């Protein structure tokens, strides 16, 4: 806590990198990775809520319950980018309505691209367990998942400015500086969860609900747009 206070008073100097710094790119590995992708491409990201005492029946303490998703769709290399989204806005369990909308939006063919697949795949499995009539559909979505973090985690595309991290918050500013979370009112998942719960479930920010929901849509949309642009960077390094 004291370190945070100190850094607020004396922020660290921004790191200055040499102008001639260059990434290290393994073109063969990246090509093999991309060649496995099947159109249409669906870029998926969830936002979730959790609490010690579950708000809704059938959930475990601290279970990550999806209440929002963003889905960008690229049907072919030349196609215009499409966007679908879902954000639960009522004080009720979002699981069924989110699952039904996702199954409709994401189709039955094509790669489902995520960043850190363990998170999205676990949420899909949990939704399928909660809603047995959709278990097969959610398992089928998981079978299509491809993790876009792999080329960066395996260092097939590496840049010193990533500072050894494969986090999208480190990779995106280097490869796509035009996309920035810093311009958003919500800039990370913890804030997204807290604000949604305060606006929708607890009513603590009921007067700000419309604004918070709009900010949540912008934040989650940037998560999947970031993946689209990083995919394009990998396709044309």
pLDDT at 2 over 70: no
* pLDDT band (50, 70, 90) for residue 146: very high
Give the C-alpha distances (Å, rounded to integers) separating 61 from 51, 64, 66, 144: 6, 9, 14, 29
Domain that holds residue 108: 26-235
Which stretch of 96-100, 160-164, 202-206, 219-223 has the lowest confidence by average pLDDT? 202-206
CATH number at residue 99: 3.30.420
Examine residue 217 and state whether it is found in any structural domain, yes or no.
yes
pLDDT at 11 over 60: no
What pLDDT sits at residue 169? 86
* pLDDT band (50, 70, 90) for residue 1: very low
- pTM of this prediction? 0.89
What pLDDT sits at residue 138? 98
Number of domains in the chain: 1
Query: Which residue, chain included where needed, has tokens 């008073």?
Result: 9
CB-CB contact of 46 with 66 (8 Å): yes
Examine residue 58 and state whether it is found in any structural domain, yes or no.
yes
Give the C-alpha distances (Å, rounded to integers) separating 38 from 29, 78, 113, 201: 17, 14, 10, 39
Mean pLDDT (whole number) for 81-85: 98
SS3 120: helix
Examine residue 180 and state whether it is found in any structural domain, yes or no.
yes
Mean pLDDT (whole number) for 162-190: 87
Count of helix runs (H) and strand runs (E) in the chain: 9, 7
H or E, element range at 143: helix 135-143
Examine residue 220 and state whether it is found in any structural domain, yes or no.
yes
Mean pLDDT (whole number) for 204-233: 92
Examine residue 1 and state whether it is found in any structural domain, yes or no.
no
Examine residue 16 and state whether it is found in any structural domain, yes or no.
no
Examine residue 38 and state whether it is found in any structural domain, yes or no.
yes
Q: How far is 162 from 170, CA to CA, in rounded Å?
A: 5
Read off the pLDDT of residues 111-129 as tens digits, 9 standing for 90 and up: 999 999 999 999 999 999 9
The bridge status of strand 24-25 relative to strand 157-158 is antiparallel
Examine residue 3 and state whether it is found in any structural domain, yes or no.
no
């Amino acid at each position: 806590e004291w370190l945070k206070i100190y850094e607020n008073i004396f922020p660290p100097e921004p790191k200055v990198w040499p102008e001639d710094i260059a990434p290290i790119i393994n073109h063969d590995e990246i090509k093999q990775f991309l060649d496995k992708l099947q159109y249409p491409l669906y870029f998926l990201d969830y936002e979730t809520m959790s609490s010690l005492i579950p708000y809704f029946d059938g959930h475990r303490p601290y279970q990550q319950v999806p209440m929002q998703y963003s889905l960008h769709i690229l049907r072919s290399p030349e196609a215009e980018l499409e966007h679908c989204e879902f954000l639960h806005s009522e004080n009720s369990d979002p699981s069924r309505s989110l699952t039904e909308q996702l199954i409709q939006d994401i189709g039955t063919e094509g790669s489902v691209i995520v960043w850190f697949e363990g998170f999205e795949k676990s949420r899909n499995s949990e939704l399928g367990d909660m809603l047995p009539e959709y278990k097969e559909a959610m398992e089928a979505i998981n079978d299509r998942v491809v993790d876009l973090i792999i080329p960066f985690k395996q260092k097939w595309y590496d840049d010193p400015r990533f500072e050894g991290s494969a986090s999208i918050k480190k990779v995106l500013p280097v490869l796509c500086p035009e996309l920035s979370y810093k311009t958003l009112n919500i800039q990370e998942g913890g804030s997204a969860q807290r604000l949604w719960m305060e606006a929708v479930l607890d009513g603590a920010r009921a007067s700000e609900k419309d604004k918070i929901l709009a900010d949540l849509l912008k934040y989650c949309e940037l998560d999947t747009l970031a993946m689209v642009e990083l995919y394009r960077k990998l396709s044309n390094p």
